[in-house]
Chain A
């Protein structure tokens, strides 16, 4: 055991316990992540501590939280890179269900209607020739639906109806690579009063995204796309039909 750290963990059970911070002192092995520390807290000190986790390598997006005030996936943050006192809180802007668990249905309420398929064309190794019977290599989309961008977004903090960076980034992926998705639907959502025009370009979303999706850039791209297509519509005597 090499790392001694003090964890201040946000604890709150809506309806029956007040929001508070509880302190746990841990001796951890050098490889420990913040998620490992939280799993040990649950195992050894607080069996009713609720948190989300699954893959342990930043692929599932469940362990998003705020660590010393910054959005991160707890499974990717090594304790040895942090100071002696570590504060762990749930994500902002989604509502707390219990302790570190936030309201993911609220996230998917905005994300799902965009209709972005999960599988995309792989852009890796363009020189590779796919085997017979496989028209092109594919991969899972980069966005892991972790909610870090929504938590970091200053607009989401003030406008509850704002579609938010994750859903808008997904909408851009539909425009970029439609597959069988309904592009018009994704564009209509992006163009709505609570869509991409609400963004202040703070770019906090792109900053905290753990998988390089860069939602802020996607939003800028959506705006440019919508402006261009509106310009085309305005210039055309046939309006939208052209």
Chain B
């Protein structure tokens, strides 16, 4: 029977998904090469607000995503110790309308297995003195804060330790295909200037919002909607816990404290080209306004930075704002469309990257006739600094 090491998998995309997938496949004993156009985590991954999701945000409307989040949240605490600000999060009700959402929220969390603790106004203000004093009720959930780049670096470091080759500044020019079977990629290494073919038994498209472009090189369609959102960082850390608005998902419904900053997120629209993101001024203003409703001092704090990031959401082309699209992920084996050797993984979020990788690696192994289980639920990751030392 063939051994895992007989097979070579090329992963296109050095974000959280590609990083976790490289780790999963390398642990299973496969040979792995990951190529990324720029520096690793330079696309969407590095730009998120840094939330380690409890899943609370999705508990009512998107329970599948919520369950994924809470399960992965607990796994990540085990496999990536020392990477998270584990201060928990609050969902805060400011208006009567917010408060009316409480029963549905608690029900949703319970159904998804998200632990909650209801806090009175006084209790909430004791934990977070800068909360809007009009807060009516708050719910504590196991949110946390991560470093959006350094967590995926731990996946990459461990993958490298297990033999994976990680190649930043290596751009895919073409996906090599013969008789309906993908057999590798042609890349240009922007450091050496060389073009070369990298052969593979399976090529995995993990290019996030760019995955539509990679799929187009193969002639298959991926229903991806690059859906940008604006994020704003203000100077000062005004809470220690993550603060969410207790109401259905909307613009400016979260403040994630991180280091000495507070990040307010986010808005949502859809674009065609993830390389041309605008930064609409009214979205920036809205972040201050909505953030200030939860934590008034955040709304008045000096601007540190404002930026856009494109989510790789899976959904129909006619989606307009991206809010209606699920935050869960999809793995496509394009054999279903007559193309062998090519798999796309997209959607999802940083918190669920490990789970996405496990599902994708299962698909890859099944295609190769391998029966090797994933071990990423248990293996503790190397520190991020190891990425640059291996």
Contact = CB atoms under 8 A, between A and B. Distances in A.
B235 to A, nearest CB: 10
24 contacts: A16-B192, A31-B306, A50-B38, A53-B38, A54-B41, A55-B148, A57-B304, A57-B305, A59-B258, A101-B191, A108-B388, A111-B385, A112-B385, A118-B82, A119-B85, A122-B237, A125-B130, A128-B128, A128-B240, A129-B127, A130-B240, A131-B117, A139-B260, A142-B260
Interface stretch (B44-52, B60-68, B360-368): B44-52
Given A54-B45, A62-B39, A212-B260, A117 B385 contact: no
Contacts of B240: 122, 124-125, 128, 130, 137, 139
Interface string A94-138: 000110010011011101100001110010110111110010011
A119 B81 CA distance: 10
Contact of A48 (B46, B193, B388): B193
Contacts of B307: 56-57, 75
Nearest to B125: A128
B172 interface: no
A105 B389 contact: yes
Closest 3 CB pairs of A and B: A54-B46, A57-B305, A56-B307
Given A75-B305, A109-B389, A48 B82 contact: no
Nearest to A43: B275
Interface string B301-342: 000111101000000000000000000000000000000000
B84 interface: yes
Interface in B56-105: 82-88
Interface string A29-46: 101010000010001000
A114 to B, nearest CB: 10
B46 A118 contact: no
A51 interface: yes
Interface residues of A, number: 57
A139 B259 contact: yes
B260 A55 contact: no
A86 interface: no
A98 B383 CA distance: 26
B169 A101 contact: yes
Contact of A140 (B45, B85, B193): B85
Interface residues of B, number: 63
A140 to B, nearest CB: 5
A195 B180 CA distance: 60
A118 B127 contact: no
B200 interface: no
Contacts of A54: 39, 41-42, 45-47, 148-149
A171 B128 CA distance: 32
Given A16-B193, A51-B39, A98-B190, A60 B46 contact: yes
Contacts of A189: none
A131 B140 contact: yes
B379 interface: no
A108 B190 contact: no
Contact of B258 (A47, A56, A137, A140): A140
Given A101-B169, A109-B389, A118 B87 contact: no
A122 B128 CA distance: 13
